[in-house]
């Protein structure tokens, strides 16, 4: 039986790529969006569409029912107001994680950001976005769910050639990555056959090439499991 995927943030640039890759697999992914008309224009009847706001947990449970894997591609575009980083990148993620746990979701894939542990990074001037993304990560790490937290470098539109990826842990690398490569990395994490408790950074190298899903995780260490 095919797994049921729920994509939050499906109408964003990265979210759209993830959804379309799942459609290419012959799946009908479930998507959680605020703008129904936009989603219908993008995907038509190729998805199961649920309208909901990650800032309001009570709106999330119907979309979670029966889901195997959640991929969160949400992220704010404004530093202040009702869509600020605290409400979206922290509380929105926390609401998704808590709803996923209550619904016995098998795995949660979270797209975060490189440099989240560097409070003095210039990006943090944008509503303390890195601080709040890190808080969202922490909720997932402490949830007991099987998970992967993917910290991409700066996101760019895809190029003609696929590049080999550089993976690291400890938040020490810099660079960029295409949204298509990020989407594929998320799906590799979703496909990983064993239990997963993993946080890692990823950027593209200058070298052309394609890596298998197995190669992606070879050099990475699992996160410690929190004690009760």
Rg of the Cα trace of the chain?
A: 16
Predicted pLDDT at 209? 86
Taking the C-alpha atoms of residue 22 and residue 203, their distance in angstroms, rounded to an integer, is: 22
Model confidence band, residue 218 (pLDDT cutoffs 50, 70, 90): confident
Give pLDDT, residue 160: 55
Considering the chain, what percentage of its residues have pLDDT values greater than 70? 97
Residues sharing a CB contact under 8 Å with residue 47, sequence separation 6 or more, in sequence order: 10, 19, 23, 28, 29, 30, 31, 39
Domains and CATH numbers, the chain: 5-218 (3.40.50.720)
pLDDT of residue 87: 96
Q: What are 135-173's pLDDT values in tens digits?
A: 999 999 999 999 999 999 999 987 656 889 999 999 999
Q: What is the pLDDT of residue 36?
A: 95
pLDDT of 53 reads: 94
Q: With bands split at pLDDT 50, 70 and 90, how would you rate the model's confidence at 1?
A: low
pTM over 0.75: yes
pLDDT digits (tens, 9 = 90+) for 68-126: 999 999 999 899 999 999 999 999 999 999 999 999 999 999 999 999 999 999 988 89
Residue 13's φ and ψ, nearest 5 degrees, are -60, -45
Query: What are 21's two structure tokens?
Result: 């890759």
């Amino acid at each position: 039986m095919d797994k049921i995927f729920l994509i939050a943030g499906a109408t964003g640039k990265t979210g759209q790529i993830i959804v379309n890759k799942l459609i290419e697999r012959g799946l009908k992914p479930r998507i959680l969006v605020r703008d129904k008309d936009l989603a219908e224009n993008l995907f038509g009847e190729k998805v199961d569409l649920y309208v909901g706001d990650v800032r309001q947990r009570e709106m999330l449970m119907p979309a979670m029912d029966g889901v195997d894997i959640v991929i969160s591609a949400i992220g704010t575009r404004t530093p202040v107001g009702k869509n600020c980083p605290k409400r979206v990148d922290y509380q929105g993620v926390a609401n998704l994680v808590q709803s996923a746990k209550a619904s016995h979701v098998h795995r949660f894939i979270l797209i975060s950001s490189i440099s989240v542990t560097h409070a003095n990074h210039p990006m943090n001037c944008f509503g303390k976005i890195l601080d709040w993304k890190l808080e969202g990560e922490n909720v997932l790490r402490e949830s007991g769910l099987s998970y992967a937290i993917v910290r991409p470098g700066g996101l760019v539109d895809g190029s003609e050639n696929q590049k080999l990826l550089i993976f690291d842990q400890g938040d020490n690398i810099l660079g960029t990555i295409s949204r298509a490569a990020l989407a594929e990395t998320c799906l590799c994490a979703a496909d990983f056959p064993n239990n997963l408790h993993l946080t890692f950074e990823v950027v593209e190298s200058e070298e052309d090439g394609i890596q298998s899903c197995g190669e992606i995780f070879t050099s990475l260490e699992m996160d410690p499991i929190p004690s009760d």
